[in-house]
Chains A and B, each alone.
Chain A
Amino acid sequence: MRMAVAGRILELVIVFFGVTFVIYALVFALPGDPIRALAGERPLSETVIANIRAQYHLDDPLVVQYFRYIGGLLTGDFGTNFAGRPVGDQLARAWPVTLVLALSAWFLEIVFGIGLGILAALRRGTWIDRTILVSTVLATAVPIFVVGVSAQLLFGVKWGVLPVAGDKAGWPVAFILPAAVIAIYGLAVVSRLMRSSVIESLETDYVRTARAKGLSSRRVVSVHVMRNSAIPAVTFLATDFGYLLGGTVIVEGIFNLPGIGNLLFQAIRTHEGPTVVGISTALILVFLLTSVLVDLLHAALDPRIRR
């Protein structure tokens, strides 16, 4: 177990340096003059250019610049926006909203994904199963922003049952619609995974034994089937949490929730390059951390993975 943890953390370190280097190389070292971009049409004198180059350490070798950037990331420095405000401050303020949104969506995924999957498996071949299958496939084929905008139109504008946008109504009312929209995609995957693994375990020998012992079918399903067929869905749910954070970009924009995704959305709209990179990098790092936590948790739960 301790070896597995150490190995996983070493892997995280490699991936962390790899990911940040890829971002750095692709974003900051691409051809193009950042000073020119900063100045726009205005002509700059040699001394001003030299000053700016010194201020941003642009004359250092690429590797030195990269490590300075890493040092910044590790101390929470994600750069500044055009108005001069640190991106880190904006992130800190927006973070709780995004976390609440992602957790709400996650909760919906777990409850409805697993529930629908088990229902479909137990009613295999009936119209219930077919309806669940068809609707989950349909749900994955429609882009999230189309679902979001349509849901906003129907529930918010036409029927007026839920707030159209903003977080004034607070949790949970303001978060129901956006969370449901983000959850749809993962929910579809969870229910399909759950369905196939429940069907698989229903056909195993130990379930037959349990039935032969005369256990009620409720007990067979809840004790013998559920525990052994939850693993694929749990694995997916765990990794999906990181993706949910990414999914908030589009949904927070649509529903105007003041979270990290909305910051990113606005930054793209207003062409604030450095802010876009800073926010995305922060989200990617969170994603990496969650995936490691998930793996460790997984190893703790499933003895076969420990080794």
Chain B
Amino acid sequence: MTDALFDTATPARRAARGTWRRVLRQPGAFIPLAVLALLLVIAAVPALFAGIFGNGDPRVCDLGNSIKGPEAGHPFGFDVQGCDVYANVIYGTQSSIIVGVLTTVLALALAVTLGTIAGTRGGWADALISRLTDVFLGFPFLLGAIVVLNSVPERNVVTVSLVLALFSWPLLARLVRSSVRGVSQTEYVLAARTMGLGWWRVVTKYILPNSLAPVMVVATIMIGSVIVSESSLTYLGIGLQSPAISWGLQLASAQSKFQLAPHLLIYPSIFLAVTVLSVIVLGDTLRAAFDPRRRS
């Protein structure tokens, strides 16, 4: 009974459903979504794809094949250690996708929590959180990550994601805060408060569902920039470490031999670029769809 009375979000939800249907019909949305779905499947079960050309094991290497070009059964050729580049690129998908998604999810969780508290509570909580945001925004992203990763004892997918998340939440938190503040002043939130609903209920049922769209768009694009940052850090020698398999590590090892064997650089780069591009294009399409000024 009370739920039926208070469920003012229904029309908004229905409108959101309409937006989604319209978005999905655009090539700017379904093409990147299809590519990302494929990459997710590759990341989940790389073994399924790695074996297509016969040599499915990224760790079966023959030094005699070092930096040999593409040949039958090995369409992408061999790397410096004589390992199959195709199998390595397929297995490398996993680390890049996990780092991108895990970092963004961690950053988003922190940003939504802190941004919502700052945006609704105001006062000293707002002041404290805003200053904290300023401090972390004071770091140029790559340099902050370099300083911290330099003293992290073991650099694996999880620790690298944690460090990247530490420097990527402030941007999102600022967005959440301003978006939450805007929504908090609307009449339906005021109405919900007047009816005596608690802070938690108002935030979860009324404020958050209506203020997260712009943040989600930026978070989508962030996945792409995080993947690029991971590979850059790994390239510098301060990101993921061997024996992990990642695009960044492959590109780093390609660096000294790329003049003789450009295929070492080309194939991991293509996978990386396609992944990042899909994320950026998807984010841009969503931004256009959720921005009322650009709706036709």
Contact = CB atoms under 8 A, between A and B. Distances in A.
B277 A137 contact: yes
Contacts of B144: 280, 284
B198 interface: no
Given A284-B143, A287-B143, A137 B281 contact: yes
A149 B150 CA distance: 24
Interface in A128-159: 137-138, 140-146, 149-150, 153, 157
Contacts of B136: 22
A141 B276 contact: yes
B201 interface: no
B101 interface: no
B41 interface: no
A265 B151 contact: no
B228 A277 contact: no
A88 interface: no
A30 B232 CA distance: 25
Given A141-B280, A280-B143, A284-B143, A268 B265 contact: no
Interface string B252-293: 000100110010010001001110110011001000000000
Contacts of A16: 138
A135 to B, nearest CB: 12
B135 A15 contact: yes
Contacts of B131: 14-15, 18
Contacts of A161: none
A281 interface: yes
Interface stretch (A45-53, A225-233, A239-247, A295-303): A239-247
Contacts of A18: 131-132, 134-135, 138
Contact of B273 (A14, A141, A268): A141
A137 B138 CA distance: 27
A18 B238 CA distance: 24
A213 interface: no
A150 B265 CA distance: 9
A19 B259 contact: no
B86 interface: no
A253 B148 CA distance: 20
Given A142-B269, A145-B232, A246 B141 contact: yes
B143 A32 contact: no
A259 to B, nearest CB: 14
Contact of B255 (A14, A149, A264): A149
Interface in A113-128: none
A242 B140 contact: yes
Interface in B215-257: 224, 228, 231-232, 235-238, 251, 255
B196 interface: no
Interface residues of A, number: 47
B15 interface: no
B135 A22 contact: yes
B236 A268 contact: yes
B135 A277 contact: no
Given A19-B138, A149-B265, A153-B262, A143 B235 contact: yes
B37 to A, nearest CB: 18
Nearest to B153: A32
Nearest to B279: A141
A14 B134 contact: yes
A111 interface: no
Nearest to A31: B153
A249 interface: yes
B105 interface: no
A250 interface: yes
Q: Which of A26, A247, A265 has the most CB of B within 10 A?
A: A26
Contacts of B212: none
B199 interface: no
Contact of A245 (B135, B140, B277): B140
A149 B258 contact: yes
B106 interface: no
A143 B143 CA distance: 16
Interface string A14-44: 1110110011001100101000000000000
18 contacts: A16-B138, A18-B132, A19-B135, A27-B150, A27-B151, A137-B277, A138-B273, A140-B280, A141-B224, A143-B235, A143-B251, A145-B231, A145-B235, A245-B140, A249-B146, A273-B150, A284-B143, A287-B143
Interface of A: 11, 14-16, 18-19, 22-23, 26-27, 30, 32, 137-138, 140-146, 149-150, 153, 157, 242-243, 245-247, 249-250, 253, 264-265, 268-269, 273, 276-277, 280-281, 283-284, 287-288, 291
Given A19-B135, A276-B150, 4 more contacts: A15-B134, A143-B235, A246-B141, A280-B147
